[in-house]
Amino acid sequence: MAAMPTSVLDLAPVVPVVVIEDADDAVPLARALVAGGLPAIEVTLRTPAALDAIRAIADAVPDAVVGAGTVLTPGQVDRSVAAGARFLVSPGWTDGLLAAMAASGVPFLPGVSTTSEVVALLERGVREMKFFPAQAAGGTAYLRSLAGPLPQARFCPTGGIGADNAPDYLALPNVGCVGGTWMLPADAVAARDWARVESLARAAAGLRDAGGTCR
Protein backbone atom coordinates (compact mmCIF):
# COMPACT_ATOMS: atom_id res chain seq x y z
CA MET A 1 0.00 0.00 0.00
CA ALA A 2 1.16 3.52 -0.76
CA ALA A 3 2.56 5.29 2.28
CA MET A 4 0.18 7.40 4.34
CA PRO A 5 0.65 10.98 3.21
CA THR A 6 1.68 13.68 5.63
CA SER A 7 0.72 16.26 3.01
CA VAL A 8 -1.69 15.95 0.11
CA LEU A 9 0.28 18.65 -1.68
CA ASP A 10 3.38 16.47 -1.94
CA LEU A 11 1.90 13.41 -3.66
CA ALA A 12 1.71 14.51 -7.30
CA PRO A 13 1.49 17.69 -9.37
CA VAL A 14 -2.15 16.96 -10.17
CA VAL A 15 -4.90 15.48 -8.01
CA PRO A 16 -7.71 14.11 -10.21
CA VAL A 17 -11.11 15.26 -8.98
CA VAL A 18 -13.36 12.28 -9.65
CA VAL A 19 -17.16 12.12 -9.77
CA ILE A 20 -18.20 8.46 -9.83
CA GLU A 21 -21.76 7.57 -10.76
CA ASP A 22 -21.22 3.79 -10.82
CA ALA A 23 -19.09 2.24 -8.08
CA ASP A 24 -18.13 -0.55 -10.49
CA ASP A 25 -16.04 2.01 -12.39
CA ALA A 26 -14.03 3.00 -9.34
CA VAL A 27 -11.32 0.33 -9.38
CA PRO A 28 -10.47 0.34 -13.12
CA LEU A 29 -10.55 4.14 -13.15
CA ALA A 30 -8.23 4.33 -10.15
CA ARG A 31 -5.87 1.78 -11.66
CA ALA A 32 -5.67 3.83 -14.86
CA LEU A 33 -4.85 7.01 -12.92
CA VAL A 34 -2.19 5.29 -10.82
CA ALA A 35 -0.64 3.68 -13.90
CA GLY A 36 -0.46 7.14 -15.45
CA GLY A 37 1.43 8.51 -12.45
CA LEU A 38 -1.37 10.14 -10.43
CA PRO A 39 -1.68 8.19 -7.16
CA ALA A 40 -3.70 10.78 -5.22
CA ILE A 41 -7.35 10.46 -6.21
CA GLU A 42 -10.06 12.72 -4.81
CA VAL A 43 -13.49 11.08 -5.03
CA THR A 44 -16.12 13.76 -4.51
CA LEU A 45 -19.09 13.07 -2.26
CA ARG A 46 -21.49 14.33 -4.93
CA THR A 47 -23.05 11.00 -5.83
CA PRO A 48 -24.64 8.12 -3.92
CA ALA A 49 -21.85 5.85 -5.19
CA ALA A 50 -19.02 7.94 -3.71
CA LEU A 51 -18.45 6.13 -0.41
CA ASP A 52 -18.69 2.71 -2.05
CA ALA A 53 -16.18 3.94 -4.66
CA ILE A 54 -13.76 5.11 -1.96
CA ARG A 55 -14.10 1.77 -0.19
CA ALA A 56 -13.49 -0.19 -3.39
CA ILE A 57 -10.39 1.81 -4.31
CA ALA A 58 -8.98 1.57 -0.79
CA ASP A 59 -9.48 -2.21 -0.81
CA ALA A 60 -8.38 -3.06 -4.35
CA VAL A 61 -5.84 -0.44 -5.49
CA PRO A 62 -3.02 -0.46 -2.92
CA ASP A 63 -0.88 2.04 -4.82
CA ALA A 64 -3.65 4.65 -4.81
CA VAL A 65 -4.03 7.26 -2.09
CA VAL A 66 -7.78 7.79 -2.21
CA GLY A 67 -9.40 10.78 -0.57
CA ALA A 68 -12.85 12.29 -0.20
CA GLY A 69 -13.77 15.63 -1.72
CA THR A 70 -16.73 17.99 -1.35
CA VAL A 71 -16.72 17.17 2.36
CA LEU A 72 -19.29 19.47 3.97
CA THR A 73 -20.20 18.03 7.39
CA PRO A 74 -18.57 16.30 10.35
CA GLY A 75 -20.70 13.25 9.56
CA GLN A 76 -19.21 13.07 6.09
CA VAL A 77 -15.75 13.26 7.62
CA ASP A 78 -16.47 10.21 9.78
CA ARG A 79 -18.09 8.20 6.99
CA SER A 80 -15.32 9.02 4.53
CA VAL A 81 -12.52 7.93 6.86
CA ALA A 82 -14.46 4.79 7.79
CA ALA A 83 -14.72 3.98 4.07
CA GLY A 84 -10.96 4.26 3.68
CA ALA A 85 -10.36 7.88 2.69
CA ARG A 86 -6.77 8.86 3.41
CA PHE A 87 -7.24 12.60 2.94
CA LEU A 88 -10.15 15.05 2.98
CA VAL A 89 -10.93 18.08 0.83
CA SER A 90 -13.67 20.65 1.39
CA PRO A 91 -14.78 23.55 -0.81
CA GLY A 92 -15.00 25.79 2.26
CA TRP A 93 -14.92 25.47 6.01
CA THR A 94 -16.59 26.24 9.32
CA ASP A 95 -15.13 25.83 12.77
CA GLY A 96 -17.16 22.65 13.27
CA LEU A 97 -16.07 21.10 9.99
CA LEU A 98 -12.46 22.13 10.59
CA ALA A 99 -12.47 20.53 14.04
CA ALA A 100 -13.84 17.28 12.62
CA MET A 101 -11.25 17.18 9.86
CA ALA A 102 -8.44 17.94 12.31
CA ALA A 103 -9.63 15.12 14.57
CA SER A 104 -9.93 12.63 11.70
CA GLY A 105 -6.31 11.55 11.77
CA VAL A 106 -5.81 12.10 8.03
CA PRO A 107 -4.46 15.13 6.11
CA PHE A 108 -7.06 17.65 4.97
CA LEU A 109 -7.38 20.68 2.71
CA PRO A 110 -10.07 23.17 3.77
CA GLY A 111 -11.22 25.43 0.97
CA VAL A 112 -10.57 29.19 0.84
CA SER A 113 -11.14 31.95 -1.68
CA THR A 114 -10.29 35.12 0.28
CA THR A 115 -7.32 36.51 2.16
CA SER A 116 -9.32 36.67 5.38
CA GLU A 117 -10.11 32.96 5.16
CA VAL A 118 -6.43 32.18 4.66
CA VAL A 119 -5.46 34.29 7.67
CA ALA A 120 -8.17 32.65 9.78
CA LEU A 121 -6.83 29.19 8.95
CA LEU A 122 -3.24 30.22 9.63
CA GLU A 123 -4.42 31.50 13.01
CA ARG A 124 -5.79 28.01 13.66
CA GLY A 125 -2.54 26.32 12.69
CA VAL A 126 -3.61 25.18 9.21
CA ARG A 127 -1.06 25.97 6.49
CA GLU A 128 -2.25 23.82 3.58
CA MET A 129 -5.49 24.72 1.83
CA LYS A 130 -7.59 24.26 -1.26
CA PHE A 131 -8.02 27.46 -3.29
CA PHE A 132 -11.49 27.28 -4.84
CA PRO A 133 -12.91 28.26 -7.25
CA ALA A 134 -9.43 29.10 -8.50
CA GLN A 135 -10.07 30.82 -11.81
CA ALA A 136 -13.23 32.62 -10.66
CA ALA A 137 -11.55 33.75 -7.43
CA GLY A 138 -8.63 35.48 -9.13
CA GLY A 139 -6.46 32.70 -10.53
CA THR A 140 -2.69 32.88 -10.60
CA ALA A 141 -2.61 36.65 -10.12
CA TYR A 142 -4.46 36.34 -6.81
CA LEU A 143 -2.28 33.50 -5.53
CA ARG A 144 0.88 35.33 -6.57
CA SER A 145 -0.30 38.34 -4.56
CA LEU A 146 -0.80 36.15 -1.47
CA ALA A 147 2.73 34.72 -1.62
CA GLY A 148 4.34 37.95 -0.38
CA PRO A 149 2.42 38.65 2.84
CA LEU A 150 1.43 35.03 3.53
CA PRO A 151 4.36 32.85 2.40
CA GLN A 152 3.58 30.17 4.97
CA ALA A 153 0.31 29.23 3.23
CA ARG A 154 0.41 26.53 0.52
CA PHE A 155 -2.41 25.77 -1.86
CA CYS A 156 -4.01 23.20 -4.12
CA PRO A 157 -6.02 25.34 -6.56
CA THR A 158 -9.04 23.73 -8.23
CA GLY A 159 -11.83 25.07 -10.38
CA GLY A 160 -11.29 26.06 -13.98
CA ILE A 161 -7.87 24.44 -14.22
CA GLY A 162 -6.86 22.35 -17.23
CA ALA A 163 -3.80 21.16 -19.06
CA ASP A 164 -3.34 24.59 -20.63
CA ASN A 165 -3.11 26.67 -17.45
CA ALA A 166 -1.99 24.10 -14.85
CA PRO A 167 1.72 24.84 -15.48
CA ASP A 168 1.10 28.52 -14.69
CA TYR A 169 -0.30 27.56 -11.29
CA LEU A 170 2.43 25.00 -10.62
CA ALA A 171 5.10 27.65 -11.27
CA LEU A 172 3.91 29.65 -8.25
CA PRO A 173 5.96 29.27 -5.06
CA ASN A 174 2.88 28.78 -2.87
CA VAL A 175 1.21 26.09 -5.02
CA GLY A 176 1.98 22.48 -4.19
CA CYS A 177 -0.34 20.83 -6.70
CA VAL A 178 -3.54 21.48 -8.62
CA GLY A 179 -6.83 19.62 -8.81
CA GLY A 180 -8.74 19.00 -12.00
CA THR A 181 -10.89 16.75 -14.11
CA TRP A 182 -9.39 17.11 -17.58
CA MET A 183 -7.77 13.66 -17.49
CA LEU A 184 -11.26 12.20 -16.98
CA PRO A 185 -13.32 13.33 -19.97
CA ALA A 186 -16.95 12.30 -19.63
CA ASP A 187 -16.99 10.40 -22.91
CA ALA A 188 -13.94 8.34 -21.95
CA VAL A 189 -15.43 7.44 -18.57
CA ALA A 190 -18.80 6.60 -20.13
CA ALA A 191 -17.09 4.35 -22.66
CA ARG A 192 -14.83 2.90 -19.94
CA ASP A 193 -11.86 3.84 -22.09
CA TRP A 194 -9.34 3.40 -19.30
CA ALA A 195 -6.40 3.41 -21.71
CA ARG A 196 -7.28 6.97 -22.71
CA VAL A 197 -7.63 7.97 -19.06
CA GLU A 198 -4.20 6.49 -18.35
CA SER A 199 -2.67 8.39 -21.27
CA LEU A 200 -4.17 11.68 -20.13
CA ALA A 201 -3.06 11.00 -16.56
CA ARG A 202 0.49 10.40 -17.75
CA ALA A 203 0.49 13.74 -19.54
CA ALA A 204 -0.85 15.44 -16.41
CA ALA A 205 1.81 13.80 -14.24
CA GLY A 206 4.42 15.27 -16.58
CA LEU A 207 3.28 18.77 -15.66
CA ARG A 208 5.59 18.54 -12.64
CA ASP A 209 8.42 19.30 -15.04
CA ALA A 210 6.45 22.02 -16.80
CA GLY A 211 5.56 23.72 -13.53
CA GLY A 212 8.75 22.91 -11.73
CA THR A 213 7.61 23.73 -8.19
CA CYS A 214 5.24 20.96 -7.21
CA ARG A 215 7.14 19.20 -4.45
Catalytic residue list: 42, 130
Q: What are the Cα distances from residue 162, in Å, to 17, 159, 167, 185?
A: 12, 9, 9, 11
Separation CA 67–CA 58 (nearest Å): 9
Q: What angle do CA 154, 155, 159 make, to 5 degrees?
A: 170
Query: E strands within 13-117?
Result: 14-18, 40-44, 65-69, 88-89, 108-109, 111-112
Whether 174 contacts 151, CB under 8 Å: yes
Please, which residues bridge with residue 53 across strands?
Answer: none
